[in-house]
Amino acid sequence: MAQIELSVDLGSKFITIYQKGIGPVLREPAIALAEKNGDKYVIREAGYRAESIMSSSLGGARVIAPVKEGLIADDEMFVLLLRHFLKKILPSGVFAPRVSAIVNVTCSMTGGDRRAVEKCFVKAGVKEVTLVEAPLSLLAYTGSIGGLFLDIGGGKTEVAAVTNRGIACGITVNIAGDAFNAAIIDAMYTAYGVKLGDYTVEKIKTSALSFYLNDEGSYAVSGGGRDGAPRSVAITAADMRDAVLPLVDDIIEVVMNVLDQTPPELAAEILRKGIFLTGGSARIPGLKEYLEQAFELPLTHLQDGPSSVAIGGAKFLDDKRFLSDLLGIKLD
């Protein structure tokens, strides 16, 4: 029987899968469109295809986003989504391969939530599941003996001070891309009386939000007015920056709190190396420079960006002894 080993990054907005011997094989939005078939749901579309349909017509389909802030919010739907993604990447044939996976999770995940993740992966067809805190995989990705990692994603931001002996201190907060979107929606309604949709805000945030003060671009968007009638307004990069800035300052405070709890030897290492920055929302133009000014430390974007957790986790597939030492458990 064929053996397939995977490293999976269970993100709030994306699921990323790396396969040993091949490399990255999947990175798709963690959403699906499901339709009722008798007393059960079946996946109609998932990932990017589901995202494209969401912006037009859903028909009779239900939108499912079973991962919230790095946690599984809907076990049944997550299993359906995971099976769909695994089917895309695994070989078909009479004899199904034996699949094992390192699953990267948040460092703040509770025991009950960890058991839920394991259970869902087993139900989806994964025979052996090993949970690894994502900051450990980021450490493996860098090959460093220690560092501070700031991962700003879609539904959560994770901050962790890590050494090759484990996580010294870390925290996960729900201040990230989704919170940025909500802040922009609220600010635009207050300022212009226009209610924007999530899809519209995500699009303009991705293309136009900037922390460079000299960015004076203006972008036309449409939404519903206070009287219910559709209307268009011009939104500037400064409008969006002002809306998001308090949340970014909250992230800075979280990082400072982690630094305050970091052991002196590791703090000295961080002072020499600076902070490693990753996650989809970390790529906002000018954000790195804004954070560097706040921390008075250099920040380094991890080269593979949002895929770095899955790639780092894959390094443990080749060095299970190191992973065993980090987790304090014996692995086969």
Summarised one tens digit per residue, pLDDT across range 139-183 is: 999 999 899 999 999 999 999 999 988 999 999 999 999 999 999
Residues in Cβ contact with 113 at an 8 Å cutoff, skipping those fewer than 6 apart: 71, 72, 105
What is the per-residue pLDDT for 55? 59
Residue 234 lies in a domain: no
Domain contains 231: no
Asked if the model's pLDDT at residue 228 lies above 80, the reply is: no
Q: pLDDT category, 1, cuts 50, 70, 90?
A: low
* Residue 250 domain-assigned (yes or no): no
Whether 202 is covered by a domain: the verdict is no
What's the whole-number mean pLDDT along residues 47-60?
73
pLDDT at 275 over 60: yes
At 59 the pLDDT is 61
Give the tens place of pLDDT for each residue, 292-301.
999 999 999 9
Answer yes or no: are the C-beta atoms of 162 and 146 closer than 8 Å: yes
Tell me what pLDDT residue 60 has: 65
Report yes or no on 35 lying in a domain. Answer: yes
> pLDDT tier at 282 (50, 70, 90 boundaries)?
very high
| Domain assignment of residue 94, yes or no | yes
Q: What does the pLDDT average to over 90-104?
A: 86
The range of the structural domain enclosing residue 70 comes to 3-140+308-327
Residue scoring higher pLDDT (226 or 310): 310
Q: So what's the pLDDT on residue 56? A: 59
Residue 128: give its domain's CATH number.
Answer: 3.30.420.40
Does residue 93 register a pLDDT over 80? no
The pLDDT, as a whole number, for residue 58 is 57
Confidence of residue 118 (pLDDT cuts 50, 70, 90): very high
pLDDT score for 207 = 86
Is residue 153 included in any domain, yes or no?
no
Mean pLDDT along residues 295-321:
92
Confirm whether 183 is domain-assigned. Answer: no
| Domain count along the chain | 1
| Predicted pLDDT of residue 288 | 97
pLDDT at 53 over 90: no
Q: In this predicted structure, what is the pLDDT of residue 112?
A: 95
What's the pLDDT at 57? 56
Mean pLDDT of the residues in the chain: 90
